[in-house]
Amino acid sequence: MSIRRADSLGGKAAVVGIGATEFSKDSGRSELKLAVEAVRAALDDAGLTPGDVDGLVTFTMDTSPEITVAQAAGIGELSFFSRIHYGGGAACATVQQAALAVASGIADVVVCYRAFNERSGRRFGSGVQRREPTAEGAALGWNLPYGLLTPASWVAMAAQRYLHSYGLGPEVFGHVAVLDRRHAARNPAAYFHGKPITLADHAASRWIVEPLRLLDCCQETDGGQALVVTSVERARDLPRPPAVIVAAAQGAGRSQEQMTSFYRDGLTGLPETAVVARQLWRTSGLSPADIDVGILYDHFTPFVLMQLEEFGFCGPGEAGAFVAADALPLNTHGGQLGEAYLHGMNGIAEAVRQIRGTSVNQVAGAARSLVTAGTGVPTSGLVIGADG
């Protein structure tokens, strides 16, 4: 059973720097170079130097280890370094780890980063090709022989059940795609800058795995993103307004697998997201009505709808209409569908921009941002807010 009480992490750390490379389909440089560029850009944004850093956090999937990045970026001694597992589900947990280190005094300045050549190098969308035997990988053996080889095929199973259970058609997913691309069209950093789409475009895009069309699936990107975390007290002396970590949580549901949790009692929700939601609301003391902007992990459009329902923004089966009504500003950077697929790290950066008031699609008076990480896998989330 997950914890049933508020934790004490909230309000003790803040994101003070964000930095990224360009987002492309062929970076022309190594993943290590991308990581270092992003880290240095984030430190510049924070008004800090590599010598100020004593902690690094990344993903288990990252090919650039913390120690190598520290060496290449000119960072000296480290007192904290950590990695989070489960692909995109790790995004917000990297910030949680950094906040834990800062709050406990283990480190003073921690940089979270993610960098990959996911388009020109290893393409996650191509699915399982070679895999070393592991206990968690054994679960895939129940699905791969029957053709469920890619992330899209795994999500399609849950998406089909969602549509059947609520009497909906696949066009309901198009509202997420259109919204993301509308925001991306106004974002110069987005790959799909200047390229909005319509519901008709969504419906005309080719099937990938029914009921998912091409425009239901996030893009593949080369690039890097980094975030700098320090104490709220130190943050107040730095150039940028602190984006305070109001709450942070990780979550795994019962019968959890990596995107193939098909043996649960139901397939129309995301139990791992519910674990995160409960803890974020408990710790922050907030509710959906208090959130000004949502940055929801959008590797596939159906899971955006399910996240809205798990967080309580609307009832089961109602999220498509909720998105269509623009009831909550969502993915104002364009999301992974429109801006870039950086395993959700670029979404955290957008949440920080909203708190700073510097987003290209700024929500007036935004003081609280909800950010989520990859779903269908053990996941994580954040509530980020303005100082004071």
Q: How far apart are CA 45 and CA 48, in angstroms?
A: 8
Nearest alpha carbon to residue 301 among 164, 181, 149: 181
Nearest alpha carbon to residue 316 among 253, 369, 270: 270
Q: 108 - beta bridge partners?
A: none
Q: Active-site residue among 86, 113, 191, 341?
A: 341
Q: C-alpha 223: how far from its chain's center? A: 15
Q: HEC profile for the chain? A: CCCCCCCCCCCCEEEEEEEECCCECCCCCCHHHHHHHHHHHHHHHHCCCHHHCCEEEEECCCCCCHHHHHHHHCCCCCCEEEEECCHHHHHHHHHHHHHHHHHCCCCCEEEEEEEEECCCCCCHHHCCCCCCCCCHHHHHHHCHHHCCCCHHHHHHHHHHHHHHHHCCCHHHHHHHHHHHHHHHCCCCCCCCCCCCCCHHHHHHCCEEECCEEHHHECCCCEEEEEEEEEEHHHHCCCCCCCEEEEEEEEECCCCCCCCCCCCCCCCCCCHHHHHHHHHHHHHHCCCHHHCCEEECCCCEHHHHHHHHHHCCCCCCCCHHHHHHCCCCCECCCCHHHHCCCCCCHHHHHHHHHHHHCCCCCCCCCCCEEEEECCCCCCEEEEEEEECC
Whether 341 is catalytic is yes
Whether 162 is catalytic is no
Q: Active-site residue among 86, 162, 191, 297?
A: 297
Residues labelled as active-site residues = 297, 341
